[in-house]
Amino acid sequence: MTGIVERLAAALVTGFARAVTGVRGDWRDAPPGPGPHIYFANHASHGDFVLVWTVLPRVLRRTTRPVAGADYWDTGAIRRFFGRRVFRAVLIDRRPEMRTGDPLEPLAAAIDSGQSLILFPEGTRNLTEAKLLPFKSGLYHLARLRPDAVPVPVWIENLNRVMPKGELVPIPLLCTVTFGAPLPVAAGETKDAYLARARTALLALAPRPEAVS
């Protein structure tokens, strides 16, 4: 249970995110009901999960945890405070040589306790011109391991322009977080087939370039 300081910090973060980005949620399907969900999103900034977390209804935000890199969020007192105590992130070491167990175990444990997750199947920030990097296999294995947790694609638009790489001061710009329809693994579906389908569903939520007349 978070304390007063953590709740105040969370309110300040969400208020700041709304003020700077004007972020709004766009639910293409019905907003998620109770029970664990796996929100999987594109990844271009360290602030991505903050926007997804911010636009969730408050009752869902309380039980939703981001999956984040321990090598970033567990270094330094400030990052550690926000990562562990404010966002209650499930921290994963992205360096295989530093792991001592199955990286999916803490994610599965969070789902078993009734919590939802925000994760990024690209595995790292996309700093290229491509819309999406190839997906890692974790999304598929987690969805198979915990089929009661509903995978939901989420497209985050414009945050990479609000917080360009190397900049310390955000640039005010409207951001949108678009939630698609649930995407469970089908019976007998292979890893490659599911990841291709998940990638296609995520790309379908991205804004299309305006036609030039």
In this prediction, residue 173 carries a pLDDT of 58
Q: In total, how many domains does the chain have?
A: 1
In this prediction, residue 213 carries a pLDDT of 39
Question: Per-residue pLDDT for 120 more than 90?
Answer: yes
Tell me whether residue 213 is in a domain: no
CATH number for the domain harbouring residue 154: 3.40.1130.10
In this prediction, residue 122 carries a pLDDT of 94
In this prediction, residue 17 carries a pLDDT of 82
Tell me whether residue 210 is in a domain: no
Tell me whether residue 109 is in a domain: yes
- Res. 209 pLDDT band, cuts 50 70 90: low
Tell me whether residue 208 is in a domain: no
For the chain, percent of residues with pLDDT exceeding 70: 87
In this prediction, residue 98 carries a pLDDT of 64
- Domain span holding position 151: 4-203
Read off the pLDDT of residues 33-90 as tens digits, 9 standing for 90 and up: 789 999 999 998 877 888 898 899 888 988 999 999 888 888 889 999 998 999 999 9
Tell me whether residue 37 is in a domain: yes
Residue 162 or residue 159, greater confidence: 159
In this prediction, residue 119 carries a pLDDT of 95
In this prediction, residue 168 carries a pLDDT of 44
Tell me whether residue 131 is in a domain: yes
Tell me whether residue 212 is in a domain: no
Tell me whether residue 209 is in a domain: no
SS (H, E, C) the chain: CCCHHHHHHHHHHHHHHHHHHCCEEEECCCCCCCCCEEEEECCCCCCHHHHHHHHCCHHHHCCEEEEEEHHHHCCCHHHHHHHHHHCCCEEECCCHHHCCCCCCHHHHHHHHCCCEEEECCCCCCCCCCCCCCCCCCHHHHHHHHCCCCEEEEEEEECHHHHCCCCCCCCCCCCCEEEECCCCCCCCCCCHHHHHHHHHHHHHCCCCCCCCCC
Read off the pLDDT of residues 85-111 as tens digits, 9 standing for 90 and up: 999 999 988 766 666 778 899 999 999
